[in-house]
Amino acid sequence: MVLFLNHKNCTYTDATKQLRKVGLKSQIIGITSESEVDQQAFMDAGLDNCVEKPLDPVRTTVVFPNSKK
C-alpha cells in the first residue's frame, strides 16, 4: 500500500502515474484537503481511493478497512 499526502508544492499525480507506468499493482491512496476537482485529478492519475483530511475513525476505515475503531 502506498499513501500519498497531497500538498501544494508536490505533484503526486505525476508520481502516481509513474508508479502505475512501471507496473506497480499495490493500492495507492491519496490523502488530501483539496477540492473535489483536485481529488478527481488525483483519481484520474491512477489512485485507488482518495480520502479527505482530517482523518477520523470513519475515514480511517476507508484507508485501513481491517483496522479496529
Closest CA relative to residue 12, chosen from 28, 23, 27 = 28
- Identify whether the C-beta of residue 53 lies closer than 8 Å to the C-beta of residue 27: no
pLDDT given at position 20 = 92
Domain ranges of the chain: 2-63
Percent of the chain with pLDDT over 90: 10
At the topology level, CATH places domain 2-63 in: Rossmann fold (3.40.50)
pLDDT given at position 24 = 93
3-class secondary-structure state, position 3: strand
- Tens of pLDDT along 33-65? 766 667 788 888 888 888 888 888 887 786 777
